Amino acid sequence: MPVYNADAIVLHRILLGETDKIVTLLTREKGKLNAVAKGARRAGSRLSGATELFTHSQMQLAVGKSLDIISQCQVASSFPTLRGDLELLARATYLCELTDRMIEEREPNPEVFDLLLSALYLLQRAQERPDLIVHAYELRLLAERGYMPQLEACVRCGGALQRRQSAFSPSLGGVLCSGCRFSAQDAIALHAETITFLHALASADPETLLALAPSPAAAAETARCLRWYVRYRADRDLKSAEFLDSLRVQASRQHNVSRG
């Protein structure tokens, strides 16, 4: 059987039989693909850690009849910080599910691979505001797929945006000026500060990104816009996104209790 090497991140895994797993990998070389990890659930298997969600490994795979087979692997990072914190684990899981949903199989895209790997590393450092990393990744992944939202001018009339009374329409894929803001049923009100913040999320280098400090209003509007826009582009809701919603609601309740 021919073999090949791949730099891989695990996006999804399911159990197969008594001891095996089928994993969905995002590889730098061949894009997204499914592979079998034989014996990965046996105690002491070298494939065990490498086939956990969002682990990054260098793998050797053999080309199989239907699915390729992982023959060797060396874990580069298992991101223990992300596994030890429910807030971070939920976000890393979401990044993987979103990527799995948005990427076609066997279409090599090293940019998306690097984007995801970088987001996982940054998430480990973003204990204060992990959603900065999540939203930056959402925007950049959407841009890679050709779905970058239009933030420069009104998506409907092309007119300039005013400082006040703008909106965002997930189905139109961009911002609406004050004159057009009632023309889309799904329009979400948006402050000028939020549009500036969305621009920063889409383009900031890692250190600048980690240092961003949006107002609570801009953070909430950004979360709302991207939640609906991602759902629109992904064609359905993601399980991990629903779980993240519940964590965010809990966190904001605790925040309000501690303030009030």
- CB under 5 A: which stretch of 31-39, 108-116, 128-136, 176-184 binds Zn ion? 176-184
User: Least Å distance between CB 158 and Zn ion?
Assistant: 7
Say how many Å lie between the first and final Cα of the chain, rounded.
65
User: Least Å distance between CB 169 and Zn ion?
Assistant: 11
Helix (H) or strand (E) holding 87: helix 86-102
Which residue is associated with the tokens 């298992």?
78
Helix (H) or strand (E) holding 228: helix 216-234
Q: Which is nearer to Zn ion, 13 or 181 (CB)?
A: 181
Q: How far apart are CA 116 and CA 98, in angstroms?
A: 10
Contact residue for Zn ion among 88, 142, 177, 219 (CB under 5 A): 177
Q: Does 156 bind Zn ion (CB under 5 A)?
A: yes
Q: Do residues 69 and 35 make contact, with C-beta atoms less than 8 angstroms apart?
A: yes
- CB under 5 A: which stretch of 4-12, 60-68, 95-103, 179-187 binds Zn ion? 179-187
- CB under 5 A: which stretch of 30-38, 121-129, 155-163, 200-208 binds Zn ion? 155-163
Contact residue for Zn ion among 4, 106, 159, 163 (CB under 5 A): 159
Q: How far apart are CA 13 and CA 21, in angstroms?
A: 7
Q: For residue 153, give both structure tokens.
A: 């001018």
**Rule CB under 5 A: which residues touch Zn ion?**
154, 156-157, 159, 177, 180
